[in-house]
Structures are given as structure tokens and as C-alpha cells.
Structure 1
Amino acid sequence: MPISLFLPHADGGVEAYALTGTPTPRPAAVPRFSRIAYAAAHVVSDPRRDTRPWERPAVDWEATLKFRHHLWSLGFRIAEAMDTAQRGMGLDWSGAQELVRRSLAEARTVPGADLACGAGTDHLDPADARSLDDVIRAYEEQVGFVEKHGGRAIMMASRALARVAASPDDYRKVYGRILSQAKDKVVLHWLGDMFDPQLAGYWGAADFERALETVLSIIEENRGKVEGIKISLLDNAKEVALRDRLPEGVLCFTGDDFNYAGLIEGDGRKYSHALLGIFDAVAPQASAALCALAAGDAATFRAVIAPTVPLSRKIFEAPTQYYKAGVVFLAWLNGHQDHFTMPAGLQSARGVLHYADVFRLADRANVLDRPELAATRMRSLMTVLGVAQD
């Protein structure tokens, strides 16, 4: 008998929905890909200890680290303490420091495990930034912390820099200083204002072409210290424009949660590697697809990855910065955590219709690993949110 439950529609009606998806098999051994694939990982809150969820939310470190083992087992590198981990939206710099320390220590216990850690300026309130030197000191503190604990840095975009920079040269000064001091190669991060409105005009220009010239000049001037750049503008044409002009040896990491399938496959000339928040939610499917691509089976890659794209577009719909709610929702449905709460109560950022659509799309994309558990948990959530299940 099909597993079914009642889900709401935007017109106010309710439908009986029967699940049709098939769980994706796990690989027998840790797979190898032909693309570098980072999954930006979420953190698991601890509601049993969460006395001040909007100020200093508690983290379930055991469940958080266990989820990283799940990603490593599927062949992914981890992008740690990034936007997906609610940096600046529930996880402050103090919490990020503990996350970085714990994850780097855990990685050393897993053969072949790899991760890079987000380093930004989020402990500096943009309103308190008075000069470029303030921004430089903030970056130095965070990059220095990551490197002190044996990690490699992903240089996150800075709200403070966006506020105080007066020209593209100011970005060149700040990035040049930090990159010149870095011990290892760094991944840069171009995050669009759809993810964070405070980053509007980053690189000193509202116009993409002018911003592109600035970031390319920064990379060229510091190419010995730049592993690559993640671009998250949700516009595949802009990513291809950047990718086509990167210097030899500098990698393009797609952060485009709308168009990642085609960007990873490539256009016959070039392709993008990946650093994606959606890979947290669809890790088994992305792993199977990347394995097929590595084996030269592009048809299977497309067949497996394509159904995840509508799901990702729903999760990352505007207001895009609340996508973390959909990522954690799926982690809960799939049994990676035993509750659906988030740091700062961010699960309330999306409504019942959004979660119903994510559930349907996850089923169609074969993302529900344990359908009976997912249906049971979804019924309980729908009941709480006013959608009767009998």
C-alpha cells in the first residue's frame, strides 16, 4: 500500500499525496569524483539546552559531526562554517570557532576526509567598521584562527567591507593584504545580494562587468595564493563569463543552486567544480550523479541530478537567505536529526506551503531516504501547522 498523507495547496485546499520516490543506494566505498565537490554543511541545534535561541543557540555537537561523517562517506569535501551553517543568522563567530575546531579535529580521524573553513569578518559589526584597517584586522583574526588549527580558509564576503569600501581599489587592498599573508591557497567567495542584501555592490560596483574586472584583477595579482573562487549569483551566464576568464590553474566553484547541473557537467570546453549548500540536502543523489560523470556516463549523471534541481530552486526561492530552513527540514525528514528546530528559530522563516512543496519535490527527486519515517514526521509537522491528517 502506498505511503500517503495530506498536504496543503496555495488555494487553501488539501490533497491526499502518495509517495512515489525510491531511496538512492549508498556506495559500497567512498567514491572518487572527476570534479572537486564541497558540500556546505548545516549545524544541528540542541533544543533541550536552548535557553536563549535568538541570542546564543545551543548546538548538538554529536549530531553535527555525525552529519559530516555522512558527507565524507559519500565522497564530499566539506565547506565548514559557511552561510549554510547560519553564519550571521544564528551562528556567531564564537560558535563558528568551536565548529571549526571540532570539525578539523574530527577530520583528522577519518582517512581521506577534507574540509575548508569559512573565514570572514562577522564578529565585526558593519556599523562599527570605520576603516579598511578594521576590516583587515577582522579578516586576519579569522583566517589566523583557521590556520592555527590546521585548516585552509574560504575567504567569505564581508558585510563590513561592503559598507566601508569606497572603490574597487579598496577591495584590492584588503584582499591583497590577506592573501599575501595566507599560509595556504585560499578559496574566494563571491556571494550575491540575493543571499545577503548587505553585500550589494560588492567588489566596488553594482554592475557585473565592472565587478568582474575587479575580482579578476585581484586573482591575477595574487594567483599563487588563490585555489579558486566560488560564485553564487544564481545566474549561469555570469558564472561562465567568470570561468572563461580565470587564469590557468585557478578553479571555478559553482555556488549556483539554480543551475549547478549544467555548470558541473560543462559545455565541452570547461566545467565548474562545486561548493554548494544544496549538496547538504541531496548528498546521496549528488554523489551518485558525480560518480556517473566520473565514469563518463553523462546520461546517468543528468538523469540522477536533474530532478534535484526543481527541489533546489524551491529551497532557494526568495527570500533566498532563508534556504537553510529547507536544508535542515530535509535532514530531519531523513533521520539525520531528531527534531526540526534551528539556531535562532530559523525554521519559522518558511511557511507550511513551502514545506509541503519541498516535501513533494524531494519525493520526486528520490531524496527521501526513509520514506516511512519522512511521512511520519511530515504528518506530525502538518498537524502542528493546522493541516489535519485524518
Structure 2
Amino acid sequence: MTLEILLPAGGGLERYRLEAEPVARGTYSPARSRLAFAAAHVVADPLADNSPGAPAVIDWEHTLEFRRYLWSLGLSVAEAMDTAQRGMGLDWAATQELIRRSAAEAPDGRIAVGVGTDQLTAVGSDDAYQLDAVIAAYEEQLGLAEEVGAQPILMASRALCAAAESPDDYRKVYDRLLGQSTRPVILHWLGSMFDPALDGYWGSDSLDTAADVVVDLIADNAAKVDGIKVSLLDASREVALRNRLPEGVRLYTGDDFDYPALIKGDDDRYSDALLGIFAAIAPAAAAALKALDDGDLDTYDRVFAPTVPLARQIFSAPTYYYKTGIAFLAWLNGHQPGFSMVGGLQTGRSLPHLADTFRLADQAGVLTNPELAVQRFGQLLRVGGVDA
């Protein structure tokens, strides 16, 4: 059956014929050759007040069902990360409940959780941005991760970036946390394109100097560092850092532009994956990783190649609104009842942007139920005032 839809284009509408077969969906075992985490979003309760600035009210049924879907595809879940709108609608109270609920259902060893300092945003005194307060906030969240048995991801902290005056301040905080952790953690280097408040992280505006700080930190704490997630959208810089890591420390790519080549790697090293885009392209990611396990690089390239234009669309500037595209595709694919987000973030992308996302998702084969996707985008057009 041929499916067509009128989509916004060039200030008008054009007829678009869906062209790709959806990537075959099934159940998969976790990949053997790579570790692969999908950073999952949260589903807002459509009947609650999830307006900007309001406490997040989550639709737990669909939020947890989406995680079960990711686990069924062999992916692990990176929980309560920036994809889940940390600092952009998901408050600390909701984050705690999210971590507890998700960890309670996770298969053994297949969940890592974000450990940050975002509870400090609720504190009004200047003490919120002193290093001791930053450390205490991290320690509280690290305690929760360890309590639920999840691997900690030490997230980049806006409060630390505001409080630190030099690389030594970063070392003070991270050395303290790594010394306390009872298991190896994943570090997190999130570029300013994802969060402008993190500009100058690691104590320098120079990314080369920042990389030196990170490498020294890891070298001095290698037994406590499982790996580092790098989200700089710069493949050459990621490879350079990867090549400097101590033996046994992983580089988890957070590069949503160049992940196929980085995960494939070269003769010496490769990147594991901790990616928001994997939540949007989960069936393709699962199929590509299985092909990689099987040594079938042609299939790996063929499956991943059409997902890259989609990823570049979803993560286009302003990059921090990529969460809107993740939730949009989850809605098109039937994983949530409505296109709504905590903090009202569904307004973060325009109708023409979402139309281009629709086209590219079809071409990537990740519209798993094309009929439903067409029906739902038609609803979105009508709500937007477009009689199509």
C-alpha cells in the first residue's frame, strides 16, 4: 500500500510519498562487540500541568514501557540524562522517582543513571554555587545511584561550571567523588552546543587544555573510571581523546552526527555508545550492532547510513532542543499517546522542522508504523491550523 501525506515545504505544502520499508523489528540480545546505551526521554502526563517552570508530572506507564522497548532491542538505558530533560523541565523530585522506577525494572547491568547537581537550582542562597555545596549535591545523587544498583554517570554540572575558578577546582570535585564511588563510573563531557551554561567546562575555554585535564584526571583514577561519554560533535577530537585514554577505559561516543564511524572504529580502537539518537532510531541501532557482531560491515553501513541525516536534523542548532525530536518520533511510532513534553518543550521545534524530521525518519526506516505516523502527523497539521 502506497502512503502519501501533505507536508510543509517552502512556505506551502507538498505531497510526500513514504518510500522506505521500516527496519525489521524483533527482539535482540545485547551486542557482544560494543556497549550500547540509549539515553531515553520521559513521557509527560497529558492531563497534568507540565507548563514551563511547573514541577514535572510524568506518564509513568508509557515512560517505563519505552524503556522496556529499548531493553527488548538489546540496548541498555542511560537514565535521567539530558535527553530526559535534566535542567530543561525535569526537576529533582521527578528525577529521583524516575531513577528508582527504571532501576527496579532494568535487566541486570543494563542501566546507568545520571548523577548531577540540579537540585541546587531550587536553592536561593549564594552557597548553592560554592564547591562544597556542589560536592554535597553530587554526593546525594551518587548515593541514590548506588542505592538502586545502577552505574553512575557523573554528569557535567552547571553549578560546578559556575563555581569553579580553575582546573584545580574540577579536580577537587571529581577526585572526591571518584574516591567515594564504590564502582567505576562514567564521566560526562557535554559540549556547550548541548548546554551553553557548560561553556569552559574543565576550567578552560581551550578544548585542548580541557582534554589534558580530563586525561590527567582519568589517568590518576583509572581504577574508578569505566569510561567517559564525550558529546562535542567533533569526531576528530573524540578520536584523539580516545587514543589517549588508559588501557581499559572506554570512550562512549555522544556524537550524534558521526556515530557510525566512531562505533565501527579503526584497527586500534573504537567507541562504545551512549547516545540520545539511539532512542529515536532504536530498531536500526539494534540491527546495525547485530551486524557488527556478525562481522557484516556492509549491513552495518547500510542500516546506519540513512539514520545520519535524521540525526543531524534532530540535533541541528539550537542543539539543546533535540529532545523535542526524540519525543516527536516516539509519538509518531505509538510509544506515547500525545506529543507533549514536560516543561512544554514540544514547542521547541517548528512545524516545518518536524516535517523534515518526518521525511528523514521515513527514509531511515524508523517509522515503525507508517500508517499511524501519517495519521498522527495529519493531526498535528490540523492543530497547527493547516487544512491538509
Give the TM-score taking structure 1 as reference length: 0.96
Measure the CA separation in 1 of the matches of 2:26 and 2:372: 22
C-alpha contact (below 8 Å) 2:36/2:273 kept by paired residues? yes
Shift of 1:113: 5.9
Counterpart position of 1:256: 255
Counterpart position of 1:201: 200
| CA offsets 1:215-248 (integer angstroms, 9 cap, x no match) | 1111011111000000000000110011000000
Shift of 1:150: 1.9
Give secondary structure in 2 for the equivalent of 1:129.
Answer: helix
Counterpart position of 1:171: 170
Shift of 1:29: 4.5
Specify whether residues 386 and 29 from structure 1 end up closer, same or farther in structure 2 by C-alpha distance, changes over 3 A only.
same
Measure the CA separation in 1 of the matches of 2:250 and 2:229: 9
Shift of 1:152: 1.7
Shift of 1:172: 0.7
C-alpha contact (below 8 Å) 1:54/1:343 kept by paired residues? no
C-alpha contact (below 8 Å) 2:50/2:344 kept by paired residues? no
Is 2:1 the partner of 1:4?
A: no
Give secondary structure in 2 for the equivalent of 1:123.
Answer: helix
Give secondary structure in 1 for the equivalent of 2:5.
Answer: strand
Specify whether residues 362 and 52 from structure 1 end up closer, same or farther in structure 2 by C-alpha distance, changes over 3 A only.
closer
Paired residue type of 1:269? D
Is 2:123 the partner of 1:124?
A: no
Paired residue type of 2:37? Y
Measure the CA separation in 2 of the matches of 1:124 and 1:171: 17
| CA offsets 1:93-124 (integer angstroms, 9 cap, x no match) | 111100000011111xx4x5610100000111
Specify whether residues 29 and 243 from structure 1 end up closer, same or farther in structure 2 by C-alpha distance, changes over 3 A only.
closer
C-alpha contact (below 8 Å) 2:28/2:286 kept by paired residues? no
Greater alpha carbon shift after TM alignment, 49-58 vs 173-182: 49-58
Counterpart position of 1:341: 340
Specify whether residues 326 and 28 from structure 1 end up closer, same or farther in structure 2 by C-alpha distance, changes over 3 A only.
closer
Shift of 1:178: 0.3
Shift of 1:27: 3.1
Is 2:356 the partner of 1:357?
A: yes
Counterpart position of 2:141: 142
Measure the CA separation in 1 of the matches of 2:40 and 2:28: 21
Measure the CA separation in 2 of the matches of 1:305 and 1:51: 35
Measure the CA separation in 2 of the matches of 1:364 and 1:17: 11
| CA offsets 1:152-175 (integer angstroms, 9 cap, x no match) | 210000101101111111111110
Give secondary structure in 2 for the equivalent of 1:245.
Answer: coil
Give the TM-score taking structure 2 as reference length: 0.97
Counterpart position of 1:210: 209
Specify whether residues 84 and 185 from structure 1 end up closer, same or farther in structure 2 by C-alpha distance, changes over 3 A only.
same
Q: How many residues align?
A: 385
Specify whether residues 28 and 343 from structure 1 end up closer, same or farther in structure 2 by C-alpha distance, changes over 3 A only.
closer
C-alpha contact (below 8 Å) 1:7/1:387 kept by paired residues? no
Paired residue type of 1:71? L
Measure the CA separation in 2 of the matches of 1:128 and 1:234: 34
Give secondary structure in 1 for the equivalent of 2:335.
Answer: coil
Gaps of 5+ in 1: none
Give secondary structure in 1 for the equivalent of 2:58.
Answer: coil
Paired residue type of 2:387? A
Give secondary structure in 1 for the equivalent of 2:119.
Answer: coil
Specify whether residues 332 and 299 from structure 1 end up closer, same or farther in structure 2 by C-alpha distance, changes over 3 A only.
same
Greater alpha carbon shift after TM alignment, 342-351 vs 11-20: 11-20
Shift of 1:52: 5.2
C-alpha contact (below 8 Å) 2:109/2:150 kept by paired residues? no
Match of 2:111 among 109, 115, 118: 115
Q: CA RMSD in A?
A: 1.3
C-alpha contact (below 8 Å) 1:8/1:387 kept by paired residues? no
Paired residue type of 1:119? V
Measure the CA separation in 1 of the matches of 2:207 and 2:56: 37
